[in-house]
Structure 1
Amino acid sequence: MTDATEIRAEWPGRVAALHVAAGDSVEAGAPLVTLEAMKMLSDIEAPRAGAVSEVLVAVDQFVDQGTVLVRLQ
């Protein structure tokens, strides 16, 4: 069994968009979440291929640096 990979916010901001849902398969580099900080949008990408086991945030939610956004299996 592969350990889960936690995808965390690299900076504080607002979740502008979710590009995946639990159960989705993703390739490395696929956008998972778009964060808005200081009016700039940045995609948080999958570091590896896998399946999304959990999405832990919602659109318009404010997150702190280090908040777990998505878990990949």
Structure 2
Amino acid sequence: MPVVQVLSPWPGRVAELHVEAGADVTAGQDLVTIESMKILTPVPSEHDGRVTAMHVEVNSFVDERDPLVSIEIP
């Protein structure tokens, strides 16, 4: 099965994780919340699938297009 990476839409700080490795997710489900310029933005999954890896943790800083989560899609 293919694995896709969910990328950060812009630079910021990881404020919250909504899933963990092994979790089943649905399209539209929030995976991570990024804080940038005091604005909290949830990053949703674009696919149904299973989280195979978390590439960030709370309070880590990310740049635009850094991988956040890997999802195996059916």
* Map 1:1-73 → 2, pairs under 5 A: 2-73=1-72
| Distance across 2 between alignment mates of 1:10 and 1:28 | 17
Superposed displacement of residue 26, structure 1? 0.5
CA RMSD of aligned residues (A): 0.4
Tell me, which stretches of 5 or more residues in structure 2 are unaligned?
none
Percent identity, please.
Answer: 42
| Distance across 1 between alignment mates of 2:9 and 2:45 | 13
TM value normalised by structure 2: 0.96
Tell me, which stretches of 5 or more residues in structure 1 are unaligned?
none
Count of residue pairs the alignment pairs up: 72
